[in-house]
Chain A
Amino acid sequence: MEYTDKVVDHYTNPRNVGKIEDASGVGEVGNPVCGDIMKMFIKVENNIIVDVKFKTFGCGAAIATSSISTEMIKGKTIEEALALKNTDVVNSLGGLPPVKLHCSVLAEEAIHEAIADYYRKEGKMTEEEIREKCNLKEHHCEHCGD
């Protein structure tokens, strides 16, 4: 399966590339050994994600999923952002080749990690509560064991 026009559009002109200096939360997932790292920066005001930026090391699909997911959570509440599933990201791109589906999972996880980081900085919840609310998974890469 080839990349859809939407994927091509997003890796050619990625939206929201960069970093937020005074980010409310930063989430980083993936590792360079596997060839994908996504770093997501969010700015939260009154429970709303008012700004989001990303940096990604990875293939076309990794760049496109990061880009479109920043668009999908910008202006949304934290709960809405947490409800975003990797399949929503895939659907909004018009599909991804099967071997690239893990990129959409990374995008979902990067958002969750950024929100968890925001909660940690806020200091109102225990780590256990944060992990449950953000549905944090133990990162496990079958490939490199990281």
Chain B
Amino acid sequence: MDTIYLDNNATTKTDDEVLKAMFPYFSESYGNPSSIYKIGRENRRAVEEAREKVAEVLNCEPNEIYFTAGGSESDNTAIRGIAYSYKKKGNHIITSKIEHPAVLETCKQLEKEGFEVSYIGVDENGIVKLDELQSAIRPTTTLITIMFANNEIGTIEPIKEIGEIAKKNNIVFHTDAVQAVGSVRIDVQELNIDSLSLSGHKFYGPKGIGALYVKKGVQFQKFINGGHQERNKRAGTENVPGIVGLGKAIELAYQDLEEHNKKIKELRDYYVEQIEKRVPYIKVNGDREKRLPGNSNISFRFIEGEGLLLNLDLKGICASSGSACTSGSLDPSHVLLAIGLPHEIAHGSLRISIGKYNTKEEIDYTIDSIVEIVARLREMSPLWEEFNEKK
């Protein structure tokens, strides 16, 4: 059975063109970019060309881009690095309740190290409450870190407004844009973003490579100690094939962005519309308008998400859920709880994230499968029985 891959917010298939661009840097031109001979210089050039591509997309200078091993490293570097660099000014950080663990866990660790963190709430669609953000600001606040778009429910945050608030209060603004880069046009100057994380494998690039943008003048301590790579901010021999792949991937993503987004959004809207039409007692999570084009997150009442995922897997369909059973803890997704879903409804959530390789046929097959599996699991569910008896 063919795999139907509908988990593009988790990772994406590496584009063939990206792979092709990477290959020579494994086996032909394999020099260390710090070496002075020809294949070293070739690699240096490849790294700097990729840096220029990233800078062009974000509308910043190439020397404001640092390559890292991925989104989590970028977030860790930015948040820790900025927090410690501005410690003399203050020890207060503002973030949101729906951040990725790379941000939340870094903030929790900083709390143990003596920093203070405010976790801002979101409305029922997952949009950060700006008034709450505004009133959380203290004279000691040095950093605001709010994600660009949420990885579970796809909601796009009011980044421009947050950037303005940060600027007005002379606070550094970092955004985890791992889900947004490759799907949304981002101009860091227009949006007043001081620091931004991105990850290659979310937009058809390879895994294990990411980048961090930090605006010139914003201080951040280095995270990985060692050699002087990345302008002495990130030690370690550059992952040249990865960097080349990321450069190619970001170039491709923004070449045809509107065209791909239109197709992806049409499929997503069709999926949501069909599920709403054919399955009763569901809740569509996330903002209907301000959202990533490929993301959908739907809670199916009276069933538990893992059972749904396992049955989809048997049909070759890859998706994900915010149920506790898939998070490895007893709690369902912190994002779904933050938007106010009761535990039992959060347990029944299904994230389908559509990408550029998906087809209408795949979506139709998936819709039919979901309709059938949800009905079967509900027949098995004591909650469904109780609900029908009460009716």
B-contacting residues of A (Cβ < 8 Å)? 3, 8, 11-12, 14, 17, 19, 28, 32-39, 55-63, 99-100, 143-144
Contacts and interface: CB of A to CB of B under 8 A. Distances in A.
B1 interface: no
Given A12-B314, A34-B324, A143-B331, A57 B382 contact: yes
The dominant DSSP class at the A interface is mixed
Interface stretch (B23-31, B178-186, B256-264, B305-313): B305-313
B380 interface: yes
A73 B324 CA distance: 29
Contacts of B324: 34-35
Contacts of B302: 57
14 contacts: A11-B311, A17-B380, A19-B385, A28-B382, A32-B383, A35-B323, A35-B324, A37-B383, A39-B385, A55-B380, A55-B381, A56-B382, A57-B384, A62-B304
Given A11-B307, A56-B380, A33 B344 contact: yes
Contact of A57 (B328, B332, B383): B383
A58 B377 CA distance: 9
Nearest to A33: B343
B318 interface: no
A59 B385 contact: no
Given A32-B344, A35-B325, A99-B328, A56 B381 contact: yes
A100 B326 CA distance: 11
Contacts, number: 77
B379 interface: yes
A60 B306 contact: yes
B303 interface: yes
A32 B343 contact: yes
A56 B83 CA distance: 48
Given A17-B379, A143-B331, A55 B385 contact: yes
A16 to B, nearest CB: 11
B382 A59 contact: no
A35 B337 CA distance: 14
A38 B383 CA distance: 10
A14 B323 contact: no
Interface of B: 302-304, 306-307, 310-311, 314, 323-325, 328, 330-332, 342-344, 347, 379-385
A19 B388 CA distance: 14
B323 A59 contact: yes
Nearest to A30: B382
Contact of A32 (B310, B314, B347, B380): B347
B307 A59 contact: yes
B330 A143 contact: yes
A59 B304 contact: yes
B97 to A, nearest CB: 19
Closest 9 CB pairs of A and B: A32-B344, A59-B306, A59-B325, A39-B382, A55-B382, A35-B347, A33-B343, A57-B381, A143-B330
A62 B382 CA distance: 13
B308 to A, nearest CB: 10
Nearest to B344: A32
B348 to A, nearest CB: 9
B180 to A, nearest CB: 30
A106 B331 CA distance: 18
Contacts of B331: 143
A58 B307 CA distance: 7
Nearest to A143: B330
A46 B187 CA distance: 77
Given A28-B382, A55-B381, A56-B382, A35 B304 contact: yes
Nearest to B325: A59
Contacts of A63: 307, 380
Contact of A35 (B328, B343, B385): B343
Contacts of A58: 304, 307, 325
